């Protein structure tokens, strides 16, 4: 049961804080073209994101009627890392309201973390390029542990890094991996409707659903009785 302030708020990255679909699609399509495959529309790629780079590659090639062998997948993965690292923030932007929301949460002294299935090297590069890395006291990625979302241990381990009580933490994300991980960890969950998911957020049974990040602070008030807000929001 949440107390008057969460011990931590854990955020997914791609599709939650960062609209990275164009750069992810460009990377996937670069590899598909190099393999004489048809590129995939970005609208479809948006629903393939969320389980890591290798999963995205498998989905992209399977969409073209080929399941890559382990050897080919390893080679594609290296090409993916090289190209995406060089093009990680060409078209990627923060979703509307992210900066204002992060500033407000920091002013409330709520510890924040990134909990993503994206590789650590890519996550840290993107956070730096977006100039939001300083907001987070922990960054837990798909290769940080031997497990990742929807395994609840990913969230528990993130909280452990922060010294936060997982029973009093909140998970914010855009896909089934995020909401399932939060529920598996017995955390409150907040889902955003503007991210990357095959299953609509309305069907994932998050505790609160947001259409814009200006709704997050009011959502926290619904989840947490007696939460004290900054003066500028009390009016």
Cα first-last separation, the chain:
28
pTM of the model: 0.91
Give the mean pLDDT of 158-179. 96
Catalytically active residues, by annotation:
12
Give bridge partners of residue 209 from the DSSP assignment: 191
* The pLDDT value given to residue 226: 62
Cα distances from 101 to residues 13, 17, 132, 194, in angstroms, run 14, 10, 12, 16
CA separation, residue 22 to residues 49, 97, 196 (Å): 11, 19, 12
Which CATH number is 21-86's, of 1.10.3720.10, 1.10.10.10, 1.10.150.240, 3.30.200.100?
1.10.150.240
For 8-19+92-234, the fitting CATH number among 3.50.50.60, 3.40.50.1000, 3.40.50.970, 3.40.50.150 is 3.40.50.1000
Domain ranges of the chain: 8-19+92-234, 21-86
Q: Where are the beta strands (DSSP E) in 22-84?
A: none
Place of tokens 């890395």: 133
Read off the pLDDT band of 24 (50, 70, 90): very high
Instruction: Please state the rounded mean pLDDT for residues 133-154.
Output: 96
Q: What is the DSSP letter of 75?
A: H
- From CA 38, how far away is CA 40, in angstroms rounded? 7
- pLDDT, average across residues 85-95: 97
SS3 154: helix
7-19 pLDDT, tens digit each: 999 999 999 999 9
Q: State the Cα–Cα distance between residues 13 and 20, nearest whole angstrom.
A: 9
User: Per-residue confidence at 223, pLDDT binned at 50, 70, 90?
Assistant: confident
The predicted-structure confidence for 42-55, as pLDDT tens digits, reads as follows: 989 988 887 778 88
């Amino acid at each position: 049961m949440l107390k008057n302030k969460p011990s931590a708020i854990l955020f997914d990255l791609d599709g939650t804080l960062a609209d990275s679909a164009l750069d992810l699609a460009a990377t996937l399509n670069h590899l598909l073209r190099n393999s004489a495959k048809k590129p995939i529309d970005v609208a479809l790629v948006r629903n393939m994101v969320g389980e890591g780079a290798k999963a995205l590659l498998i989905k992209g090639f399977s969409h073209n009627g080929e399941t890559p062998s382990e050897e080919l997948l390893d080679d594609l993965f290296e090409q993916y890392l090289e190209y995406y690292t060089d093009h990680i923030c060409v078209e990627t932007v923060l979703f509307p309201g992210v900066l204002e929301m992060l500033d407000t949460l920091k002013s409330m002294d709520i510890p924040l973390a990134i909990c993503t299935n994206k590789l650590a090297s890519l996550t840290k590069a993107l956070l730096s390029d977006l100039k939001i890395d300083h907001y987070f006291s922990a960054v837990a990625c798909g290769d940080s542990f031997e497990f990742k979302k929807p395994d609840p241990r990913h969230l528990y381990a993130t909280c452990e890094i922060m010294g936060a009580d997982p029973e009093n933490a909140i998970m914010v994300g855009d896909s089934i991996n995020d909401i399932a991980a939060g529920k598996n960890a017995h955390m409150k969950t907040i889902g955003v409707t503007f991210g990357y998911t095959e299953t609509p957020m309305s069907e994932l049974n998050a505790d609160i659903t947001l259409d814009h990040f200006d709704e997050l602070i009011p959502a926290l008030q619904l989840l947490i009785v007696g939460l004290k807000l900054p003066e500028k929001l009390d009016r």
